[in-house]
Amino acid sequence: MVPKVIFGRGSFNQLDEIIAPKRTSLNAPFIFLVDDVFKGNAWLTSRIPLSYDDRLLYVSANEEPKTSQIDDLVEDIIVSSKKQPSGIIGIGGGTILDIAKAVSIMLTNKGEASDYQGWDLVKNPAIYHVGIPTISGTGAEVSRTTVLTGPERKLGINSDYTPFDQVILDPELTKDVPKDQWFYTGMDCYIHCIESLNGTFLNAFSQSYGEKAYDLCKEIFVDNNLTDEESQDKLMMASWHGGMSIAYSQVGVAHAMSYGLSYLLGTKHGIGNCIVFDQLSDYYPEGVALFKIMKENHNIQLPQGLCANLSDQEYDIMINVALSLEPLWENAIGKNWKKSITPQVLRSLYEKM
């Protein structure tokens, strides 16, 4: 679990007082990893408390994080810092938050980021790391994973050392998110709820969080009678609760197949999940029916024909990535999932996307 979190509009202003006591020495910098969408945005960047040798590194969220990108960032930080940094502060969406988590792990663990993709492979605690989301939905601010695309697979570094030591939830930071992106990342949260609540790993803990997040998503995306501020506040809480729900259970079919799309075609997580989920009425009938209503409510057109021109070999790559995510299938279908989830079944689903 994330041990410390503050919530509230304007709470970003407390960053300085929160991190100052965590500075280990004057030569040990804080490294701020900030989504480059905020370059030149003084409203946000003027409030980042840089002092001594601290560094602000702008990072692009145009592509999802790669293990090689983490290795390069870690090397840059080691070479340019006189001492082990005091901490890593990630400011951005799921992409930047995952990069911040992975970098903080790799500053204290030998080898390459790809060595740690999997479950509980991290040996040493990460350095102090703080997450500050600027878009809501992924739950990356609360989860125990950082999802990375490596040379062989797209898979998270799932470990007890991955979660942030501190999170600052300031919904005001999400006010300028473009509408389509708001929907795609928000639907990631909705899909987390559906996959968790309909999964075989469900338990009272994940259920209580999942139901709360599901209700908030309905208020935001179906009822449509919230002010912008209420909607921002509620989606930030929904994201947190959805993340908590899957932390204690698991995601399912949409995520497994979306990882395949992302690995082969670079399709981003939020939109990829939407494209897959749209075709999953056989697996999540009620969830998909409500999703279609939300899509229509907000006038969202999903891309079509993504897989139209793929070769057999390319289909196989996607199918193998999806099938390798065994815990997701076990959660979605049950222990005997291999009987019903075959390469042919996935191929015919991908062909519809």
Question: Is position 269 an interface residue for ligand NAD (rule: CB under 6 A)?
Answer: yes
User: Taking a C-beta distance cutoff of 8 angstroms, is the pair 57, 31 a contact?
Assistant: yes
- Give CA–CA dist 246/248, Å, rounded: 5
Nearest-CA neighbor of 252 among 327, 345, 323, 350? 327
Q: Please list every residue from 171 through 230 that binds Zn ion, using CB under 5 A.
A: 188
- Minimum CB distance to Zn ion, residue 310 (Å): 23
DSSP letter, residue 66: B
Q: Please list every residue from 84 through 103 that binds ligand NAD, using CB under 6 A.
A: 92-96, 98
Strand 129-133 and strand 118-119: the pairing is: unpaired
98 binds, among Zn ion, ligand NAD, none (CB under 5 to 8 A by kind): ligand NAD
Q: Please list every residue from 91 through 120 that binds Zn ion, using CB under 5 A.
A: none
Residue 114: other Cβ atoms inside 10 A:
20
The identity of residue 239, as a single letter, is S
- Give CA–CA dist 8/26, Å, rounded: 30
- Minimum CB distance to Zn ion, residue 210 (Å): 13
- Minimum CB distance to ligand NAD, residue 44 (Å): 8
- Minimum CB distance to ligand NAD, residue 226 (Å): 18
- The number of angstroms, rounded, from the C-alpha of 223 to the middle of its chain's C-alpha atoms is 25
- Minimum CB distance to ligand NAD, residue 53 (Å): 27
Nearest-CA neighbor of 74 among 131, 15, 126, 3? 126
- Structure-token pair, residue 119: 């479950």
Q: Please list every residue from 54 through 73 that binds ligand NAD, using CB under 6 A.
A: 61, 64-65
Q: Which window, 13-21, 78-86, 206-214, 264-272, contacts ligand NAD (CB under 6 A)?
A: 264-272
Question: Is position 104 an interface residue for ligand NAD (rule: CB under 6 A)?
Answer: no
Nearer to ligand NAD, 28 or 264 (CB): 264
Question: Is position 185 an interface residue for ligand NAD (rule: CB under 6 A)?
Answer: yes
- Give CA–CA dist 167/344, Å, rounded: 43
Question: Is position 34 an interface residue for ligand NAD (rule: CB under 6 A)?
Answer: no
User: Taking a C-beta distance cutoff of 8 angstroms, is the pair 215, 222 a contact?
Assistant: no
Question: Is position 109 an interface residue for ligand NAD (rule: CB under 6 A)?
Answer: no
Half-sphere exposure of 314 (CA within 13 A, CB side): 14
Would you tell me which residues interact with Zn ion (CB under 5 A)? Answer: 188
Q: Which residues contact ligand NAD (rule: CB under 6 A)?
A: 35, 37, 61, 64-65, 92-96, 98, 134-135, 137-140, 143, 145-147, 173-174, 176-177, 181, 185, 188, 268-270
